[in-house]
Structures are given as C-alpha cells and as structure tokens.
C-alpha cells in the first residue's frame, strides 16, 4: 500500500509540475552531447528515453521537464567502423588441384578474419571476388549486399608431382546500418542565457 501511495504521489507531482511548466510558457530544448558509436547489433544497444526507440532520435517535449536526462540511441545508414563493416556468413578451406592463384596475401592461419584484414576491410573492388548464387544465403536475399572472396596458398604436390593448393572461401554480408548514442538533457529554451549583442560605444 505504501509503495502504491508513493507511486501515486510521484505521478501526481509530475503532472502538477508539467502543468506548472505549461503555465509558465515552457519551451523545451534538447541539449545533446557528442554522439558516440555503439554497434551494428540492435541487441547490444539500449535507449533509456521515453518509448525506448532505437530507430530514431528523441527530442524533448513539454512532457519532459527541464533537467530531464536520458541516453538516446538511434539508427544511422552508412558504413560502420572497419571491424564491424562485414558479417561472416560462411568460411571453408578446401584442397584444390592446380597452382595457388589468386594467392592469399596474408601470413598465418587461413581464416576469413585474416583475409578481410589484409584487404583493409574493403571488398568493393577486389580481384579475389568470386560469383555465387545469393539465394544460397537468406541474409543475402534480404539486402543483396553479400560478397564471396577466395584465395589460395601452395600445398604439397600430389604424388604424381602435379601442383596442389589450399583454397580459402569466405562469404560476407555488408552491414549498412549502425547505432549511435548520446546523453541528452531537456531545458527551457526561454530560460536559456542569451548571448549578449554588440555593445554601443
């Protein structure tokens, strides 16, 4: 019962404050701190503003009294940071007859992560790109933004002396959205300090 009364009192106080703000001509203004990059994964972000809408920016209204603050998350279309620019959908390493062409340009383990780093996270123009049916991956049919790349490294020759190679094949989906976040505070624009104009001589 005490909790209920306390909650009821809080709601009533907010309503009274909002009414008082309306009477004084409260004009809400959103003060937004510098946005920060968060993630490409919507499950990794949290919006604490009313509505918890991670798709668009939140702006203060008369329902948000001066001094109200929350963390606003919103979606942006474009290129994420390098490390999150692509999502790996498939990785295979197979033995192939023939010479190692096109040859892998990186050292160490044959992984798609090493391959992508060697290409500076840029698959837009690469001679390692190979064609493949995008229908093989549902994620590619949704956005038509998938790329398969492949490269080879020399392996031990076959018993008959013919050349062999190891082939690394990777399918990446390009991420085209990411999320930014910023702390915002509501204030009364009418109460904001005015910039002094030029003084008369």
**pLDDT tens column, 90-100:** 999 999 898 88
End-to-end CA distance of the chain: 67
Residue 68 makes CB contacts below 8 A (sequence gap 6+) with 60, 185, 186
Residues 151-183 have pLDDT tens digits of 999 988 767 778 889 999 999 999 999 999 999
For residue 47, how far is the Cα from the chain centroid? Answer: 14
Residue with tokens 């064609």: 131
- When pLDDT is cut at 50, 70 and 90, the band that residue 1 belongs to is very low
Q: Is 178 helix (H, G, I), strand (E, B) or coil?
A: strand
Both tokens assigned to 22? 């309306």
Give the span between the Cα atoms of 115 and 103, in whole angstroms.
11
Mean pLDDT over 40-65 rounds to 95
Q: For the chain, where are the E strands, in sequence order? A: 28-32, 36-39, 69-77, 86-97, 129-130, 146-155, 164-174, 177-188
Q: What is the model's pTM?
A: 0.71
């Amino acid at each position: 019962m005490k909790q209920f009364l306390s909650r009821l009192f809080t709601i009533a106080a907010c309503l009274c404050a909002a009414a008082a703000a309306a009477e004084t001509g409260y004009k809400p203004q959103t003060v937004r701190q510098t946005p920060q990059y968060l993630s490409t994964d919507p499950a990794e972000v949290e919006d604490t503003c009313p509505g918890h809408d991670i798709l668009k920016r939140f702006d203060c209204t008369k329902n948000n009294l001066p001094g109200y603050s929350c963390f606003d998350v919103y979606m942006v279309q474009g290129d994420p940071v390098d490390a999150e620019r692509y999502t790996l959908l498939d990785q295979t390493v197979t033995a192939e007859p023939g010479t190692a062409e096109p040859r892998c340009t990186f050292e160490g383990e044959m992984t798609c992560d090493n391959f992508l780093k060697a290409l500076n996270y840029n698959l837009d123009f690469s001679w390692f790109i190979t064609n493949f049916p995008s229908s093989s991956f549902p994620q590619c049919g949704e956005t038509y933004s998938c790329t398969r790349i492949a490269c080879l490294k020399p392996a031990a020759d076959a018993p008959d002396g013919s050349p062999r190679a190891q082939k690394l094949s990777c399918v990446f989906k390009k991420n085209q959205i990411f999320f930014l976040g910023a702390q915002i505070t509501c204030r009364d624009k009418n109460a904001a300090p005015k910039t002094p104009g030029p003084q008369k001589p």
